[in-house]
Structure 1
């Protein structure tokens, strides 16, 4: 594993464990480079990964800060412009999963196209209800190539991204997301405990790892009470 990824993983773990608390100033880059015995260039690559995940942000002339999390009473979703999942975007809350279906099958044509797999390559099909502080938050339908990693129900009840990153060293570095509205089908209505035909927000996603390979095709559905989301915009150049 590359050194910058090891440092990224170590700092990320410290953030998630509140060693570096939300809203606080992190050690300087010189201090971090000295701590990990790496160059400033290597450290910068580690910090860039953390910035991409929305875990930290920099302020020119001030330093690097741990990004505050969304208000736990807010119905906002994960930031749509950052490659992170529900567990990381709501770190101050208890995120759990109820598994509705888990199995393996051959991919459909659209799954073959989005995941770049062949018709005879098996994929996992996962249907989960995600709960935030024991309240229904979303209904996820996820497709993953089985070659990516061995999965079981214990892993699915927690964070799949956490398992992939920690155990398999597979990190989501990019994602293509399409957001649209639809009426709740019988299946999604039952999963979200809403009326059939109710308005839902859908986030359709193709997730890519650090090698640029697609490893997930998913649709996450939210009812109208959880359909507010946020995109942070940062302007680097002025004209």
Structure 2
């Protein structure tokens, strides 16, 4: 893939995850040129792609800004190709967590395989409901090796990924996802406040840090009628 497309994809990722917030000014061209070790010409190609997609715009004499997006809570489209959590995808909204289960135990065979653990390596298991603007958004069931970081209920009430990044210098950079439709079992129906056997949307994920090490195995369930996802596909040039 061409260098400018790599830069375009990275800046776009940061816009969609609200690292660069709507309505705010992007860093300077000098910053981007130094960060990505590219020329101004290459950077301009990347910025042109973002501008053509309506993600950014330029003000003469003022700089480049992230364009405001018109979203409604019921039709908000979340980026499916970005391995981020609820706090990152809903930065400007009121987010709460309801902890349903939190404990430490030894991993089962599937967890050992996915997280590359031996049978004696303890893991945290936690289940929680994520609530956005007082509306139930998702049910999360997560497994994380104890060696990754110490967890407690105070941390689980907030963003686990923010905690890992701030306190442990661990960043979620990649993920392998399995996405499918299912019927809500008794546990999920109670958590999501839907009828048992009602259709739901499920994402199973193995998350990897900046060193390529798996650090979390999770399963998230969403109400089918309240959640929409978008997946951008880019064809690399040869």
TM-score with structure 2 length normalisation?
0.77
Q: Which ranges of structure 1 fall in alignment gaps of 5 or more residues?
A: 1-11, 34-39, 46-56
2:160 is aligned to 160
Count of matched residue pairs = 205
Task: List 4+ stretches of structure 1 deviating above 6 A.
Answer: 61-64
Shift of 1:182: 1.0
Work out whether residues 178 and 203 of structure 1, in 8 Å CA contact, stay in contact via their aligned partners in 2. Answer: yes
State how 1:183-222 maps to structure 2 within 5 Å: 183-222=183-222
Work out the CA distance in 1 between the residues paired with 2:89 and 2:75. 12
Shift of 1:75: 4.1
Larger Rg: 2
Work out the CA distance in 1 between the residues paired with 2:47 and 2:180. 32
1:140 is aligned to 140
1:101 aligns with 2:101: yes
2:91 is aligned to 91
Q: Which ranges of structure 2 fall in alignment gaps of 5 or more residues?
A: 1-13, 38-45, 52-57, 59-63
Once superposed, what is the RMSD of the aligned Cα atoms?
2.7
- Partner of 2:228: helix, strand, or coil? coil
Shift of 1:112: 0.6
Deviating more after overlay: 220-229 vs 151-160: 220-229
Work out the CA distance in 2 between the residues paired with 1:70 and 1:61. 17
Shift of 1:65: 5.2
Work out the CA distance in 2 between the residues paired with 1:80 and 1:153. 28
Shift of 1:29: 2.4
1:59 aligns with 2:51: no
2:128 is aligned to 128
Taking structure 1 as reference, are residues 207 and 214 closer, same or farther at Cα in structure 2, changes over 3 Å only? Answer: same
Shift of 1:237: 2.4
Work out the CA distance in 2 between the residues paired with 1:131 and 1:175. 23
Work out whether residues 72 and 90 of structure 1, in 8 Å CA contact, stay in contact via their aligned partners in 2. Answer: no
Work out whether residues 200 and 223 of structure 1, in 8 Å CA contact, stay in contact via their aligned partners in 2. Answer: yes
Deviating more after overlay: 218-227 vs 130-139: 218-227
Shift of 1:21: 4.0
Shift of 1:165: 0.4
- Partner of 2:98: helix, strand, or coil? strand
